[in-house]
Amino acid sequence: MTSIKGKVAVVTGAGRGIGRAIAIELAGMGAKVVLAARGTSQLEETARTIGESASVIAADVRRRDDVHSLFDQVSAALGPVDILVNAAGIGIFGLVTEFSDADYDTILDTNLRGIFMSCRYVLPSMIARGAGDIINIASIAGKVGSATRAVYCASKFGVVGFTQSLAEEVRQHGIRVSVICPGSTNTSFSADPNREGKVKSKMLLPADVAHAVRMLVTQEPNSFISEIILRPTQKP
C-alpha cells in the first residue's frame, strides 16, 4: 500500500462521529492531520487523543472567509494539502410543507456548499503538484430518497453528483476525488426519524467509514476508487 506518512491531511467535521474517526485513522497512518469544525472543544479532545501530529483550526465551512483562512493557515504552518476529507455535515429532518427556509439554507450550505468551497480552494495547489486525494462523505441518502428527508437527501445527492463531476475534471492531473456513502451509522444524528427503532449494535461504526478512507488514500497512484457504498452487514 502507498504510504501517507508525513502527508498533510485536513478533515472537516473532525470533532465527532465519522470525521473524528477519520482524523484518528489518518493520524495513526502517519499523516499530519488538521482538525476543522465550528467549535474547538470537541476538536481539542480529538487532538488530545491523536497527539502531537494533530492541529486544531476553528472554521465554519458555510463561510467562505473561514474556509479561506483555514487553508491559508494550513499552508503557512504545514505546507500544501495532500488529503482533504470533507466530513462536515448536518441533518435536519421534517416534512417539506413544514420545512423552513433557514433550515434549508443550513443543510445545503453545510453539506454541499462547504464541500464546493473547500475543493475549489485546495485544487490549484494539487493541480500544480500533480497529486492529491479528495474524499467527500455523502450518505446512502445520496442514493435513495425517503420521507421526511427530502432536503437532506437533496444535499447528499448533490455531493455524489458534485464528486463524480469533479473527479472527471481533475483526474488527468493525478488527483483522485472519491465519495463514500455510508448506510446507518451509530453517530449523533439522533433527531433523524428514520433511525427510530433501529438497533444500534447492528449499525456501522464511524471507524468502519474511516477504514474505507484508509483504503482510498493507500491505493497505488495509477488507480482510484471513485465511489464506496458502505452498508451494515445486517439491517439495523
Nearest to 137 by CA among 35, 229, 50: 229
Give the span between the Cα atoms of 118 and 84, in whole angstroms.
Answer: 8
Catalytic residue of the set 152, 162, 167, 182? 152
Confidence check: pLDDT of 190 > 70: no
Contacts of 169-172 spanning 24+ positions with Cβ under 8 A: 170/123, 170/126, 170/127, 171/224
**Radius of gyration of the chain from its Cα atoms, rounded to whole angstroms:** 17
pLDDT digits (tens, 9 = 90+) for 211-220: 999 999 999 9
User: Is 152 one of the annotated active-site residues of the chain?
Assistant: yes
Give the span between the Cα atoms of 111 and 131, in whole angstroms.
Answer: 25
User: Residues with Cβ < 8 Å from 130, sequence gap 6 or more?
Assistant: 173, 174
Q: What's the confidence (pLDDT) of residue 236?
A: 81
Mean per-residue pLDDT, 184-202: 72
pLDDT digits (tens, 9 = 90+) for 7-29: 999 999 999 999 999 999 999 99
Q: What's the confidence (pLDDT) of residue 1?
A: 74
Indicate the range of 59-73, 157-171, 180-194 predicted with least confidence.
180-194
From the CB of residue 72, how many other CB atoms can be counted at a distance below 10 Å? 11
Residue 86, strand partner residues: 12, 136
CATH class entry, domain 8-227: alpha beta
Beta strands per DSSP E along the chain? 8-12, 32-37, 54-58, 83-86, 132-137, 175-182, 227-230
Cα 1 to chain centroid, rounded: 22
Nearest to 226 by CA among 236, 215, 234: 215
Q: What's the confidence (pLDDT) of residue 169?
A: 98
Segment (H or E) for 77: helix 64-77
What secondary structure, in 3-state letters, does 124-172 show?
HHHHHHCCEEEEEECCHHHCCCCCCCHHHHHHHHHHHHHHHHHHHHHHH
Q: What's the confidence (pLDDT) of residue 193?
A: 59
Q: What's the confidence (pLDDT) of residue 44?
A: 96
pLDDT digits (tens, 9 = 90+) for 105-133: 999 999 999 999 999 999 999 999 999 99
Grid cell of 198 as nine digits: 433501529
Q: What's the confidence (pLDDT) of residue 194?
A: 61
Nearest to 163 by CA among 211, 219, 215, 229: 229
